[in-house]
Structure 1
Amino acid sequence: MDFDKLSILERKIIVGIDFGTTYSGVAWAETQRPDRRVAITSWPISKTIREGESSDKVPSKLRYSGKDVEWGFSIPVTAPTEEVIEWFKLGLDGCLDSIGGELGKKASANIGDVDKVITDYISALGDHLMYTLREKLGEGVVKNTPLELVVTVPAIWSEQAKERTKQACQRARGLSLTKSTIHLVSEPEAAAMYALQGLDPHNLLIGDSFVICDAGGGTVDLITYTIVNLKPALEVRETAPGTGALCGSTYINMRFRNFLKRKLGGEEGFDDEVLAEAMEKFEKTIKRQYTLGASPDDTFPIPVGGMANNSELGINRGRFALRGRDIREIFEPVIREVIQLVMDQIRTSKVPIRAVLLVGGFGSSNYLKERLRNAIGNNIHIMQPPNAWLAVVHGAVMKGLALSMPENNKLVRVGKRKGRKHYGTEWRTQYDPLLHGNIKKHWCGLDGCYKVYTMEWFIKRGDDISENEPFFTSFVWTGSVSQGKIRKIKMDIYTDRTARDAPIARDGDVSLLCHVEADISHIPESQFARRKGVDGQLYYELSCKIEAVYLSASTQYTLLFNGQRYNSVTTEYV
């Protein structure tokens, strides 16, 4: 296909947004030039957006200064730390408690209204995105070309947290004005699309399996993919349900912060400004350069300007000598958790693993790579793709291009995914003492028999899932005619996150996921079938289907009734 000859109506600008715990990235591409992905690397450092700092990503930080909202690099280094809001992404899934202690309380207090803070931050990202696009492509092109946004979210997040992310993007200034279509994609899937495309195509075989370990600031997500086709496009399927945990590099930063406060917090001259400068040095230099080969007695200088010399503490001329053994102690609990996740993923996959691909900011760590290599052995390669820090945002753009241009055979395709948990709803069925035992039963006047509520599972943990193959659940919605015309069909969707087999009936481990509601008030009552019940009453009896399409990081529900599709199904996550 000649992409340069796409009609104006077919052209789109695909934008990937990697909203991270510590840093965020934005990249874009035009559908007529899908091989040219552009990451934004210039970020505002003052109120005048034209001045900027060069960096592959921008800090996920916010500060309210009067009526102004400062963000990323535009927050002055001298700003009081209590005014700088960070780690707010963790608040979307109720993860701020994982920070723990005084730091966790401070983060929660600073953030306040999580949804507002995230909307304000993504608004700033969106404003800078639109400014950059106008500078690069011209006002006319941007104004007349539809935008499609692909926003990445951790795969281990709850559906509610993913939905809150999407809603923040819909509210965000600049992005909301474009009326853009917004897709959600899981971070490890986006990373996989980038990392797998970068592998040597001549060295790949059908059946090769790879673990993708997307280690970011807040979360570490893992998925195993197996190659099922090499031509016309590289196609992979998930081999096992993905796993993950809150053990990203943010937790190493927190441990360093706590270490420094314990070590120097009681000394004269130690204040928030000293701590902020030390944290920046650790984040940007020491944490990234530390390797397994470092000696326990090696020292790494940390700036502590204004503090008096103290040989016992290791302070000399405004520098604190951080020892290799201290860094190792700071790293170890987090590193061990990541290694355990990778080992568990390899075991769960139950197939020979060719390589582990480390992506994400934390995935760029040499120390993590070396520790993993020692733990796993030489039979499995540990690989860090180039630009691993940008793997997720570039993969997001590739996912958007794949959705918009399914005919492009240069893009990696994910054919099948594995269900991470059981999804289903609860329906009434005729009571069977052999099947239902002590499940509470009730009398049904319509059918004149005892019935029980049991689970009807759309998908079960480990099931193969394809975006092109929806799941259907047939059901009969009834209502007494004497109570008036049925105006809405409602359904509660439940999930069971445990590793057990899907239970017959709902219990304490099956939790409510969302309410799904379809408005059928516009359907003429003449289309409603009626039946006289055993109790002599007249009942509506509507034969329906719910179609569920499970995407990378979201679900779409559609009601089918009388051969018609009703896409006006609303989903409220709880």
Structure 2
Amino acid sequence: MSHKRKRDDSESESDAEAELKIVIAFDFAEGKTEEKCPTFVIVMIYAMDPADSGGREIAYHGSGFTWGFQIHDAVQRHQWFKLDLDPSQLEKIGLSQKYPDPLAAPPGYNYSPGKLTTDYMTALRKHAEHMLKHKLPASALSSTPIEWIVTVPAVWSDKARELTLACAKKAGMAQNELFIISEPEAAAVYALHKMKSLKIQKGDTFVLCDAGGGTVDCITYTVESLAPVLEIVEATPGTGALCGSSILNRRFQQFLEEKLGKDPNWDDDVLQQGTEVREIFEPVLDETVKLVTNQIEKSKKPIKAVILVGGFGQNTYLREEIAKEIKHSSVSAEVIQPPDGWTAVVKGALMKGLAVKLPSSTKVKVSGRSARKHYGTDCGHSFNEFEHPISRRYWSSYHGSWRISLVNWFIKKGDTVKEDEPVQLHRYRKSKIEDGPLRRVTSNILMSSDQNNAGVPKYKDCAEVQKLVSVNADLSRISPSLLPTKMGADGAMYYIIKYKIQVTYHSADTVYELIHNDINYGRVKAEYV
């Protein structure tokens, strides 16, 4: 099959260009699920799962390393290293600590999470390129750009997502375009596209549970529109935990070793009675069921169905336990395992990636996401002695009055953030003309998790407030002749620079752009804390 075809007159130039690309998506998840193999969707689209090569493991030998199935059974290896990219998720590793893999190297042992992830992604890229040599003629492969799509958990911090992108770039995945997409969002796109028999209606609300080898992530979506494409919006912020099927494997292994370890004739294929098997499943199932029921409880709308995807999500016992718990809660929701649910993340990532390059191919669109935190910036305000503590005021020579720094929260926790509706932060800076115009300015974006739902803090030095990112704008591109001037209360002349930082939230990354006098000066540098 040729990777080119004659372009119909009705096709746009961008549509034709989109055909001449190889798009590869992979689910950078944790765990080991050997039955999942890369699926070659069409000749120019390639979906792969790292489990095809033996799971997300890497072992070092001198200056080199082996990965996946290359690692011999008794060799110590690094596992779950992706999670170390986001220290905020380490508090969720309870079950993995209780049931450790005896061959797993300690976290951070000898190698940083960044190096482990970069080396692993490098090996994965080379493996994919090797596989493509068997799918495409050499001439087509050498002349066609390859674009990569990486998936990450929805609960990851912005910094962890940026670190993942940095590792992917170091691994050689950014020679052309590189996309990063939320795992449960990708799974929802694929699952809802495949579930046409569910008779989806506007307003229907679903809980999506992505249960994989290492992590289980849950998120709730509501159908906002049916045509021209199915549009969904996050109804409840996502939650997750380390309670995937890898924990089950470790519990089975521990059980067999304790019960049959002294018998020279036992092996991993020995099966036990149903009661004992249920006891092995219980802690993992309990954690997963709790994630699902919490989503149902937090949703302000009735749940039509719970959709199970991921390798562990195809487990019949898991489905039955979730259905039983839902029934006890008097919730009339179905529990559904869609077709090919174990590859929903990687296939959904491909669908989203293609929709970016070829909008006419969009089948399901996530039009809005629920903010998991408060986001704001600190700004100067007039001091009010009846509202503000005197200890916080400062004198402004320009204004000739007392001022106070307060946080303006431009996104509140739980707000729906639209991807196609950027947030614009109106900022201004001043500098004395005798000192020359400002060349660079830094705006700090703050966040508050507000775990107790106590409301937004007023001041940036409150314990609940953290600096998320420093946005550094280069103003040297703006000619001084375009800057208005004004005399301050102190009699000095000042340049007044009014500008906007435009923030656009995508599936798993954020774009910051500088706008002055309605001219977009492009992306600005963002340094995550």
The TM-score bracket by the shorter chain reads 0.7 to 0.9
1:85 lines up with 2:78 in the alignment = yes
Partner of 2:313: 363
Alignment of 1:444-483 (within 5 A): 444-483=396-435
Residue by residue over 1:162-216, the C-alpha shift from the partner in whole angstroms, topping out at 9 and shown as x without a partner, is 111111111104x24xx12111111110000111011125722222221101122
Partner of 1:18: 27
SS at match of 2:414: coil
1:200 lines up with 2:196 in the alignment = yes
- When residues 68 and 112 of structure 1 are mapped into structure 2, their CA distance, relative to the original with a 3 A threshold, is closer
Q: What letter matches 1:328 in structure 2?
A: R
Q: What letter matches 1:117 in structure 2?
A: L
CA contact (8 A) 2:53 2:69 kept: no
User: Please, which moves more after superposition, 367-376 or 249-258?
Assistant: 249-258
Alpha-carbon distance in 1 for matches of 2:56, 2:467: 32
Alpha-carbon distance in 2 for matches of 1:459, 1:562: 24
Alpha-carbon distance in 2 for matches of 1:562, 1:478: 16
User: How far 1:110 sits from its partner (Å)?
Assistant: 3.7
Partner of 1:492: 444
User: Please, which moves more after superposition, 222-231 or 440-449?
Assistant: 222-231
CA contact (8 A) 1:425 1:491 kept: yes
Residue by residue over 1:16-57, the C-alpha shift from the partner in whole angstroms, topping out at 9 and shown as x without a partner, is 111111248766666xx7xx855448x8xxxxxxxxxxx757
Alpha-carbon distance in 2 for matches of 1:572, 1:336: 39
Partner of 2:17: 9
SS at match of 2:302: coil
Partner of 1:380: 333
User: How far 1:528 sits from its partner (Å)?
Assistant: 2.9
SS at match of 1:413: strand
Partner of 1:554: 509
CA contact (8 A) 1:476 1:543 kept: yes
CA contact (8 A) 2:407 2:459 kept: yes
- When residues 317 and 155 of structure 1 are mapped into structure 2, their CA distance, relative to the original with a 3 A threshold, is closer
Partner of 1:126: 125
User: How far 1:337 sits from its partner (Å)?
Assistant: 2.0
User: How far 1:530 sits from its partner (Å)?
Assistant: 2.8
1:100 equivalent among 87, 94, 97 = 97
CA contact (8 A) 1:426 1:455 kept: yes
SS at match of 1:136: coil
SS at match of 2:438: coil
- When residues 318 and 107 of structure 1 are mapped into structure 2, their CA distance, relative to the original with a 3 A threshold, is closer
Alignment of 1:219-234 (within 5 A): 219-234=215-230
TM-score, length of structure 1 as denominator length: 0.80
CA contact (8 A) 1:89 1:118 kept: yes
| Pairwise CA RMSD | 2.9
SS at match of 1:191: helix
Alpha-carbon distance in 1 for matches of 2:445, 2:526: 10
CA contact (8 A) 1:26 1:393 kept: no
Gaps of at least 5 residues in structure 2 are none
SS at match of 2:60: strand
How many residues get paired? 504
Partner of 2:298: 348
User: How far 1:139 sits from its partner (Å)?
Assistant: 2.4
Alpha-carbon distance in 2 for matches of 1:317, 1:382: 35
CA contact (8 A) 1:419 1:461 kept: yes
Alignment of 1:380-529 (within 5 A): 380-409=333-362, 411-437=363-389, 440-499=392-451, 500=453, 501-506=455-460, 507-529=462-484
Alignment of 1:157-176 (within 5 A): 157-173=156-172, 175-176=173-174
User: How far 1:435 sits from its partner (Å)?
Assistant: 4.3
Q: What letter matches 2:398 in structure 1?
A: L
Partner of 1:142: 141
Q: What letter matches 2:441 in structure 1?
A: I
Alignment of 1:180-219 (within 5 A): 180-201=176-197, 203-219=199-215
User: How far 1:402 sits from its partner (Å)?
Assistant: 1.2
Alpha-carbon distance in 2 for matches of 1:211, 1:185: 19
Gaps of at least 5 residues in structure 1 are 44-54, 265-301, 310-314
Partner of 1:336: 286
User: How far 1:390 sits from its partner (Å)?
Assistant: 0.7
- When residues 121 and 416 of structure 1 are mapped into structure 2, their CA distance, relative to the original with a 3 A threshold, is same
Alpha-carbon distance in 2 for matches of 1:256, 1:432: 65
Alpha-carbon distance in 2 for matches of 1:451, 1:424: 19
SS at match of 2:135: helix
1:539 equivalent among 494, 508, 513 = 494
Alpha-carbon distance in 2 for matches of 1:332, 1:438: 57
Alpha-carbon distance in 1 for matches of 2:352, 2:46: 15
Identity of aligned residues (%): 37
TM-score, length of structure 2 as denominator length: 0.87
